Structure 1
Amino acid sequence: MPLVERPSPPVPGSRPPRRSGRLARRFAGAVRTATALALAFGAALVAPAPKAHAAVTLEKVTNFGSNPGALNMYVYRPASPAADPAVVVALHGCSQDAQLYADNSGLSKFADRHGFLLVFAETTTSNNGSKCFNWFEPADTARGKGEAASIRQMVAHAESAYNVDPAQTYVTGLSAGGAMTSVTLATYPDVFEAGAVIAGVPYGCAGDIPSAFTCMSPGVDRTPAAWAQGVRDANPGYGGPWPRVAIWHGDNDPTVVPRNADELRDQWTAVHGLDQSPDRTSTIGPDSTRREQHLSPAGTAAVEVDRVPRIGHGTPVDPGTGAQQCGATGTANFIASICSSYWITSFFGLNGSTPEPGGLPAPTGVTVTGTTDTSVGLRWSSVTGATSYALYRDGSRIAVPSGTEFTDTGLSPGTSHTYTVAARDSAGAEGARSTTVSATTAGSPAACWTASNYHHVQAGRATTNGGYAYAKGSNQNMGLYNTFVTHTLKESPAGYYVIADSGCP
């Protein structure tokens, strides 16, 4: 089930004639089929093997909305639904369909156990020759458009037809369905509380076929800020709250390389204003899957990465009747390892409890004990069971002191910062974070100037020697003394200048 089958080279500049309505979509699908534009996520397009287990009973729903993405909607209703049940949207991988994903993923087991509704969205060969969600097509990945809008309409229909709780809406998917999960979380963060991306890619990674290949392998490296801006641009003006995100990836995935898990982590931690270092790590399941969690200020996992060892591209399942077992492996891209659906259901908070924070309570009594022009002193109350503490400045962890006092140094004069503290147990697991305190260093903010070396010298911020300019005080070599070389100089303290081309507060 490859993410993209290599197409035959197209005629340069060629483009199929435009058609309108459903005919246009079918014509485009035929073109995709003919040119093998199969955006699938797996080693090969494999026909499903015969299933030896009982099929999950799905209800097909029609007329759920205008359906601009021409998708099919199927619903699984548990025998004993909860009052005001949650709804989980499930998105299959390429070459799969709703029934196959329902039969093998194991999600229905937990819908029965906890009483939530399942909505299986399904694409067809009319949309994509290999039945892949078009996660790379701009017409299908924008708010209010195409397949993304169809999925939103399915949720709205479930709210009205099945009385599901709008505040408990979740989405998960494999491969191309995982990539479309990224799309729905970015375009409808006001709808989905959380999502789980299995073997997928970050939102906004690709906008056409060639870039989709690059996203798959070797992957695309962007800064966390750049990835996060892509999410914010998908819904301008929305300021949160943002969906919580779980990222599942096999560490031997040859098609959608594991680097994508890191880029997804970078995207969503930055959206949540968190750093990229995990606050809590553990191992879960029979195969010792590595779980890395990034905690919100409340101590719950805002973003987590689950790295499944020794598997390739597919949904991790663990066939059996145990409480933490699920799924079937009778078809391609469902891999025996760990029951990901059990842990995803738990991450969503659908296992009968809210998402669990760390075991230790938040420190209290966090106070600022003093400031200088370059430092802030802090103190907090001890927490029983804590062996150390994690100190966060402006949302990023800066230190792990063993005691209940710390002095943050190396700051710039006249700058403001926020601080929170979390207790850590002997295994390094962090509990809930404290309330936020603010502090401002003494003195005036650093003064900065951007000018040519000639003008810096004329203004007295630099000196000359042997045809070169030198920053006054630090004596840093600024290059040739002329009007063509430009630098930013920061003055701190008075009369002492340093080069600050990378940024100056």
Structure 2
Amino acid sequence: MAVSPTAPTTAPATAPAAAPAAAPASTPAATRRVHRPVRAALVALLTAAALLLPGTTATAATTPAPVPIPALTAAGGTFQQVTGFGSNPGNLAMYTYAPAGLPGGAPLVVALHGCTQTADDYYRHSGWPELADRYGFAVVLPQTGAANNPLSCFRWFDAAQNSRGVGEAASVLQMVTRAGALFGTDRGRVFVTGLSAGGGMAADLLADYPDVFAGGAVDAGPPAHCAATLSAASSCQNDDQRLTPAQWAEKVRRAAPGHPGPWPRVAIWQGTADTTVRPVNATELRDQWTEVWGIGRSPSGTRSLPGGTTETHYDDAGGRPAVALYSIAGMGHGLAVAPGPGTDNCGATGAYFLDAICSGYHTALFWGLDSGGPTVPGLPAPSGLTATATGGDTVALGWQPVTGAVSYRVFRDGAPVADPTGTAWADGGLSAGTAYGYAVAAVAADGTTGARSGTVTVTTPGGPAACWTTDNYHQVAAGRATLTGGLVYALGSGQAMGLWNTFTVHTLRRTGPGYYVLADGSC
């Protein structure tokens, strides 16, 4: 259910988040995105059998075996195993990556692998070490093993392992504490992310420790505390649980009783062709965390990103995204990466690491990790940034001057796009009906960039929004919804629409390419 099968924890039938065998990295990206049904069915049966074998409970004496790892990355940072981080009730191993010269007060990201994967796999493929080098943060990579689960899945589905103060959840918290001592972590900027089963555990950790994690990302995983037993895991992965947003939110509130807030900011990543952890999980995660935040399920904005990705965000009372849903058209079960040298590239393809978009990069921007870079004495962040849409494809920017600046650097969605010498600039050639986030920094005479301003988001007018009202049969026939087991789900958002027949009628609104949301009574 939860998470990419990298064989993460979401498994078919009775097994938790176990993924079908991934296509070889040498196959074309389009082929790698969709798992072959026959292979998936076979792996599902084998996985279910493996997970139901006796002896899946770890013994205190056995820790996951160390994996061979290089001492350094090309950038000079260190990737190594850390021992003696605590009592380790969940029988996990701790690995860390820290960029060379990491200063105190840097953020920390906990990255959880999927089923059949290791910390080394995540280190080599996920892109998080590259982003750590770029933005200046440390990474903790927990590792489980076959002593805990036959497929090395984190046990997001076991109440003795996924709850506050016990099992694997407690082991991860001990790693955070140890990393804080090692790196001098800013305790207000600790984040957790994971794929498939690792994604399911990441969701649980966000609910268990909202006082520890400022934000999280769930990649191809289930909602927090969807399952408390192995037998419930398959249903979570594959089926609409038919819980209300309030019921989903109550699972979070029960996990850390008495926590008054604030709550973590949550990014949700989901492939629309994922048959291991169905897209309905992303909808349930969205319902769960928007309800926890008390912000409703009407999107604050929607925009198109690379790789056929649609981002829908839900803002808090201050206008900052609290929950963001990233739906990747046509992608199967896995973590989205985008190898390459560009600012928005990261990672390497492999089993359950699929070439689509650098999910880590956009998650880092969502968490605000791009705004904590080095600053230049005397060159503070420009103030008074404004962004105004002046047409369907143009945004006009303006800001206050900074003494000592010879130019300014403008960032769109975290990537540098211009270096004007004045305090105004117009960004053209944009897509209509799309949200863009802008920030600006002053540049000194020696070419060093100072602190960035806060991000201002603006949406260009127009766009592809349109509505269709008809019965579920014709919504599916028109390609605006999908059919699974006699039930209908909106394409892209995965929202449940009920039975496949000509009697159930809904309105769907298109908010981006291949992305539809329920809009009954609002179009």
Same fold (TM over 0.5): yes
Give matches, 1:421-500, under 5 Å. 426-427=460-461
Give matches, 1:181-260, under 5 Å. 181-260=202-281
Question: Is the alpha carbon distance of 1:183 and 1:20 closer, same or farther for their aligned partners in structure 2, counting shifts above 3 Å?
Answer: closer
What residue number does 1:154 align with? 175
Unaligned runs of 5+ in 1: 30-52, 362-422, 430-505
Q: Percent identity?
A: 43
Measured after TM superposition, the shift of residue 81 of structure 1 is 1.5
Work out the CA distance in 1 between the residues paired with 2:51 and 2:364: 44
Question: Is the alpha carbon distance of 1:326 and 1:9 closer, same or farther for their aligned partners in structure 2, counting shifts above 3 Å?
Answer: closer
Work out the CA distance in 1 between the residues paired with 2:240 and 2:371: 37
Question: Is the alpha carbon distance of 1:359 and 1:306 closer, same or farther for their aligned partners in structure 2, counting shifts above 3 Å?
Answer: farther
What residue number does 2:151 align with? 130
Provide Cα deviations, 1:270-296, integer angstroms capped at 9, x if missing partner: 0000111211111112x2310000000
Is 1:80 aligned with 2:114? Answer: no
Could you tell me which amino acid in structure 1 is paired with residue 236 of structure 2? C
Name the SS of the counterpart of 1:138 in structure 2: coil
Q: CA RMSD in A?
A: 3.1
2:190 and 2:214 in contact (8 A); partners too: yes
Unaligned runs of 5+ in 2: 1-6, 16-43, 65-72, 374-384, 390-456, 464-523
Question: Is the alpha carbon distance of 1:358 and 1:348 closer, same or farther for their aligned partners in structure 2, counting shifts above 3 Å?
Answer: farther
Measured after TM superposition, the shift of residue 20 of structure 1 is 9.8
1:80 and 1:115 in contact (8 A); partners too: no
What residue number does 1:324 align with? 344
Measured after TM superposition, the shift of residue 221 of structure 1 is 2.4
What residue number does 1:294 align with? 314
Work out the CA distance in 2 between the residues paired with 1:170 and 1:347: 11
TM superposition outliers: structure 1 runs of 4+ over 4 Å: 8-11, 15-21, 53-57, 357-361, 423-426
What residue number does 1:37 align with? none
What residue number does 1:262 align with? 283
Provide Cα deviations, 1:172-202, integer angstroms capped at 9, x if missing partner: 0100000000011000000000000000000
1:82 and 1:114 in contact (8 A); partners too: no
Work out the CA distance in 2 between the residues paired with 1:215 and 1:194: 23
Could you tell me which amino acid in structure 2 is paired with residue 339 of structure 1? C
Paired residue for 1:348, among 362, 367, 385? 367
Work out the CA distance in 2 between the residues paired with 1:305 and 1:168: 21
2:345 and 2:357 in contact (8 A); partners too: yes
Measured after TM superposition, the shift of residue 158 of structure 1 is 1.1
Paired residue for 1:335, among 336, 342, 354? 354
Provide Cα deviations, 1:245-293, integer angstroms capped at 9, x if missing partner: 00000111011000000000000000000111211111112x2310000
Work out the CA distance in 1 between the residues paired with 2:225 and 2:135: 34
Work out the CA distance in 2 between the residues paired with 1:251 and 1:281: 17
2:207 and 2:224 in contact (8 A); partners too: yes
Work out the CA distance in 2 between the residues paired with 1:17 and 1:263: 32
2:57 and 2:148 in contact (8 A); partners too: no
Measured after TM superposition, the shift of residue 67 of structure 1 is 0.7
Provide Cα deviations, 1:49-75, integer angstroms capped at 9, x if missing partner: xxxx98985210000111110111001
Provide Cα deviations, 1:142-168, integer angstroms capped at 9, x if missing partner: 110000001011111111121111111
Could you tell me which amino acid in structure 2 is paired with residue 332 of structure 1? A
Work out the CA distance in 1 between the residues paired with 2:458 and 2:80: 48
What residue number does 2:92 align with? 71
Question: Is the alpha carbon distance of 1:293 and 1:20 closer, same or farther for their aligned partners in structure 2, counting shifts above 3 Å?
Answer: closer
Work out the CA distance in 1 between the residues paired with 2:218 and 2:98: 23
Work out the CA distance in 1 between the residues paired with 2:224 and 2:369: 25
What residue number does 1:461 align with? none
| Alignment coverage as a number of residue pairs | 336
Work out the CA distance in 2 between the residues paired with 1:106 and 1:293: 23
TM-score normalised according to structure 1 size: 0.62
Work out the CA distance in 1 between the residues paired with 2:101 and 2:462: 40
Work out the CA distance in 1 between the residues paired with 2:74 and 2:242: 43
Could you tell me which amino acid in structure 2 is paired with residue 104 of structure 1? H
Could you tell me which amino acid in structure 2 is paired with residue 345 of structure 1? A
Measured after TM superposition, the shift of residue 353 of structure 1 is 5.4
Is 1:22 aligned with 2:60? Answer: yes
Provide Cα deviations, 1:311-330, integer angstroms capped at 9, x if missing partner: 1000001111111111111x
Measured after TM superposition, the shift of residue 10 of structure 1 is 11
Work out the CA distance in 2 between the residues paired with 1:78 and 1:339: 20
Work out the CA distance in 1 between the residues paired with 2:192 and 2:129: 14
1:300 and 1:358 in contact (8 A); partners too: no
Name the SS of the counterpart of 1:140 in structure 2: coil
Question: Is the alpha carbon distance of 1:169 and 1:336 closer, same or farther for their aligned partners in structure 2, counting shifts above 3 Å?
Answer: same
Measured after TM superposition, the shift of residue 220 of structure 1 is 1.8
Highest CA radius of gyration, 1 or 2? 1
1:80 and 1:112 in contact (8 A); partners too: no
Higher relative contact order (CA 8 A, sep 6+): 2
2:113 and 2:195 in contact (8 A); partners too: yes
Could you tell me which amino acid in structure 2 is paired with residue 138 of structure 1? A
What residue number does 1:485 align with? none
Is 1:99 aligned with 2:117? Answer: no
TM-score normalised according to structure 2 size: 0.60
Paired residue for 1:139, among 160, 184, 196? 160
What residue number does 1:310 align with? 330
Could you tell me which amino acid in structure 2 is paired with residue 267 of structure 1? Q
Provide Cα deviations, 1:418-469, integer angstroms capped at 9, x if missing partner: xxxxx9855389xxxxxxxxxxxxxxxxxxxxxxxxxxxxxxxxxxxxxxxx
What residue number does 2:79 align with? 58
Provide Cα deviations, 1:384-423, integer angstroms capped at 9, x if missing partner: xxxxxxxxxxxxxxxxxxxxxxxxxxxxxxxxxxxxxxx9
Could you tell me which amino acid in structure 1 is paired with residue 361 of structure 2? Y
